[in-house]
Amino acid sequence: MDFFLDLLVGGLTKGSIYALIALGYTMVYGIIAVINFAHGEIYMISAFTALIFGSILSSVGLAGWGLLFAVIAVSALYAAMYGWTVEKIAYKPLRGSSRLAPLISAIGMSLFLQNFVLLAQTPNYLPFPALVPDVPFPAILTRHASDTQIVIILVTAASMALLTLFIKKTRMGTAMRAVSQDLEMARLSGVDTDKIISFTFITGSVLAAVGGVLIGCGMRQIDFYIGFLAGMKAFTAAVLGGIGSVPGAVIGALILGFAESFAAGYISSSYEDVVAFAFLILILIFKPDGVMGAATTHKV
């Protein structure tokens, strides 16, 4: 039972991170129907930015919660800048072209960012500092979860809540929903669709940045390649939940997190990624509309 609970918490933590990334995929796909391959790299870059600014900010005297939130804020800012720039360079000029072009451009962008970090930083793993301060959580919680895991889950939950509020309550959120329903229609009714698309990339990148900082704290080491795998898995989660659906992405991410955690715990950890990819393939082939999305007949 203890082992089971450990795995459960592990899965929940993993799922939370996947959820933060999956939201970026699902929102971008919902709006421009492009798999933003570079999204995983934004997450990776955020982790590196966090590492660097964590070091700089702690040397000027920040510590504890202040340090953690300052690092998240700076990483989010930079992630937003990267996300926005990526959209402008690699996707915007391709609007209205064939379906292959943005996909290839996205793969190219992902490769570029990966190697940019590899060259500018290092091809090796880097140790990530413990940014999460000690918290006196009640013992019932800390029996199976570390402080960091609890913080990851809580921060994720808070981010989700904020995002939901943002989408449901603000003008921008309403416009985003309108654009994802029907981009052409939204444009005709006076929505600045370019602005909305940029903003979607920014929102997704900010969430990925939160995920990037948290995964650094959780795994305690990062390298330039973490974005690829996490990106793939988060995309799986987004599809599993029904791509384009925000709550779906969260549910999909949690399912994937649990599946992976239990597979690693009860089968073999060397097959963890095989399980993830098998999941990915099976979902895309047999459940491309996701568990939440209703089966749709594509219009001709």
Partner 1 sequence: MTPRAESKHPEIGAGAAPAGAAETAGAFGLDADPILFSDSLRMDFGGLTALDQVSLTVERGSITALIGPNGAGKTTFFNCVTGIYKPGSGSIFFLPEKEKRISLGGLRPHKAAQLGIGRTFQNIRLFNTLTVLENVLIGCHARMRAGLWGALFRDRKTMEEERRMTDLSYAILERYGLQARVNDPAGSLPYGEQRRLEIARALASGPSLLLLDEPAAGLNNQETLELADLIRHIRRDEKLSVLLIEHDMSLVMNVSERINVLDYGRLIASGTPEEIRKNPDVVRAYLGEDADDLG
Partner 2 sequence: MPEKDGKDPTGAPLRRPREKGRGKKILLSILRPLKAGLWLSLVAFPLVTFKFEAETRQAHFLPERIPLLLLICFGAAVAFDGLGWLKKAFGPGKRAGGILESPPEGLNRPRLSWVNRLLKSRFFKPASGVLLIFLAVLPFISSPYGVNVYITALIYITLGLGLNIVVGVSGLLNLGYVAFYAVGAYTYAILNAQFGLSFWVCLPLGALSATLLGFILGLPLLRVSGDYLAIVTLGFGEITRLVLTNIAITNGPRGIANIPPPSLFGFDLNQSVKPFLLKLGLIHSRTDLDKVLIYLIILMAAILTVAAVHRLENSRLGRAWLALREDETACQAVGVNRAGAKLTAFTLGSTWAGLAGVVFASQISFINPQSFTFMQSVMILSIVVLGGMGSIPGVVCGAVILILLPEYLRFFADYRMLLFGLLMVVMMVFRPEGLIKSARYQHIYRAPKAGEGDPSDSASGK
Instruction: Give the nearest distance from C-beta 297 to partner 1 in angstroms.
Output: 6
Verify binding: residue 300, partner 1, rule CB under 8 A.
yes
Q: What is the x/- site pattern for partner 2, positions 39-68, by CB under 8 A?
A: ------x--xx-xxx-xx--x---------
Cβ atoms of 79 and 206 closer than 8 Å: yes
Q: How many residues does the chain have?
A: 300
Cβ atoms of 42 and 227 closer than 8 Å: yes
Instruction: Give the nearest distance from C-beta 99 to partner 2 in angstroms.
Output: 6
Question: Residue 261 and residue 145: Cα distance in Å, rounded?
Answer: 14
Q: Which residues contact 231 (CB under 8 A, 6 or more apart)?
A: 21, 25, 37, 39, 40, 41, 43, 110
Instruction: Give the nearest distance from C-beta 251 to partner 2 in angstroms.
Output: 19
Tell which positions 71-100 bind partner 2, by CB under 8 A.
78, 81-82, 84-85, 88-90, 93-94, 96-100
User: Residue 88 corresponds to which amino acid?
Assistant: K
Verify binding: residue 277, partner 2, rule CB under 8 A.
yes
Q: Give the residue from 69, 70, 44, 52 showing the smallest Cα distance to 205.
A: 44
Q: What is the x/- site pattern for partner 1, positions 237-276, by CB under 8 A?
A: ----------------------------------------
Q: Indicate if the alpha-carbon torsion angle 175, 181, 186, 189 is positive or negative.
A: negative
For residue 297, give the DSSP letter: P
Q: How far apart are the first and last CA of the chain?
A: 52
Tell me which of partner 2, partner 1, none is bound by residue 62, counting a contact when its beta carbon lies within the kind-specific cut-off of 5 to 8 angstroms. Answer: none
Q: 184, 286, 294, 295: which one contacts partner 2 (CB under 8 A)?
A: 286
Q: Interhelix angle for 272-286 vs 246-266, to 10°?
A: 140
Instruction: Give the nearest distance from C-beta 237 to partner 2 in angstroms.
Output: 12
Tell me which of partner 1, partner 2, none is bound by residue 132, counting a contact when its beta carbon lies within the kind-specific cut-off of 5 to 8 angstroms. Answer: none
Tell which positions 279-298 bind partner 1, by CB under 8 A.
294, 296-297
Question: Residue 26 and residue 81: Cα distance in Å, rounded?
Answer: 19
Structure tokens at 86: 């990526």
> CB-wise, 171 or 298, nearer to partner 2?
298
Instruction: Give the nearest distance from C-beta 245 to partner 1 in angstroms.
Output: 15
Instruction: Give the nearest distance from C-beta 207 to partner 2 in angstroms.
Output: 19
Verify binding: residue 102, partner 2, rule CB under 8 A.
yes
Which chain residues interact with partner 1 by CB under 8 A?
294, 296-297, 300
